[in-house]
Amino acid sequence: MSTNQLTINLSSNWLPNGWVKVSQEGNENMVTYKLCHIDPESQANQLLVSGNPTAVVNGETVSVHGITPRGTMTKFFDAMTTLAATGWMEGYTPQKITEIRGDFNKMQDEKYDSTYYISVCLYPDETQAQQALQNQLDLHTKGLDYGKLFQNLQNPEVQKFLTSEQKKNMELLTQQTKNIKLPTPPSDLGIKYFMDKYADYPAVFSEMDNPEYQRFIAPKPKVKPRDPNKFQGGGFDPLAGKNILLKPPKPTTPPKTIKGFLALKIGKYIISGTLLSAIYFLPKGETFHESLTKTNTYIEKEQVEDKMYITKHLIPITSSYTTEGYATQEQVEKIITSIIDSLN
């Protein structure tokens, strides 16, 4: 980390629980934070996320009505290592998987489920900051001229906002593309860029049609009514239809458009980075989710001839994304608000 960096006086609790500032880089005019979110499924009750329908608990066999987890990277690499040890993965050994795992962890520690970046850049005055914000809009609406981009990056006024690592990478990229015919970007990607406000501050956004919405409103083929007296095939949960299992809410209509958040101007500062758009694609904290750790117990009794069979069922309780520790819109809004407050 450079010792000569732009200083942002952030509050001690600017990051919500589960978020970690992994690193920061910059110079006297800018600072970039690398933020990661801890994967809550790494702390889940393994009975609920194992995928096994039964388990032995305290010497007793129980029926587990688990959840379908996203799957942590730790579980992924563990499974790949086990599979490689069987010899069924040609060209991959446990040692090779360990090397891949090490390379992955250099980019993002497997205990995290996501990585975001947020940058704050200080300009000499508000006029230049406003021009920088306008440049974010022009860069997309007028098209990207790669040749002009490389030329502008050599401008001393631009160079002073780049870190030494960024300068090194740009020099390398310039050398590698010197004799390459650079591509012409498509004229229309279906994305609209525009200037608007966020928390009463000027900002640049993007917007495009949401294909999920188009699929949602498209006419659906009529489904033939099911005959309850005929076997339908497929899996079967013995508690289905008994009003015991969790009933997640019906899917809501997807938004018509997908929105992106490119940059924000606060006085002489410009905030940018991948964290901004997370406001629009992360779920709200109140969104339904099964508990990763807590269960209810249901005792099922079934009389078969002269014998009574008793089955204990473990069922996850109703919960939410916030309670279970997933990243949410509200958390990202809190982080951005904390940065804004520190700049005022």
Q: Would the pLDDT of 145 be above 90? A: no
Please report the pLDDT score of residue 168 as a whole number: 73
Q: Beta-carbon neighbour count of residue 40 at 10 Å? A: 21
pLDDT at 14: 95
Averaged pLDDT for residues 233-239: 56
What is the value of pTM for the model shown? Answer: 0.75
Of residues 294 and 162, the one with the higher pLDDT is 294
Q: Write out pLDDT tens, residues 98-125.
A: 888 788 777 767 888 899 999 999 999 9
Q: How confident is the model at residue 303 (pLDDT cuts 50, 70, 90)?
A: confident
| Residues near 231 by beta carbon (within 8 Å), at least 6 away in sequence | none
Sign of CA dihedral 232, 234, 239, 243: negative
Which residues lie across from 328 on neighbouring strands?
none
Indicate the average pLDDT of the chain: 82
Q: What's the pLDDT tens digit per position in 22-74?
A: 999 888 899 999 999 999 988 888 888 877 888 888 888 888 887 776 666 77
245: pLDDT strictly greater than 70: yes
pLDDT at 159 over 80: no
At residue 115, what are phi and psi to the nearest 5 degrees?
Answer: -130, 135
Who has greater pLDDT, 73 or 149?
73
Which pLDDT value is given to residue 309? 82
Planar angle of CA 250, 252, 256, nearest 5 degrees: 160
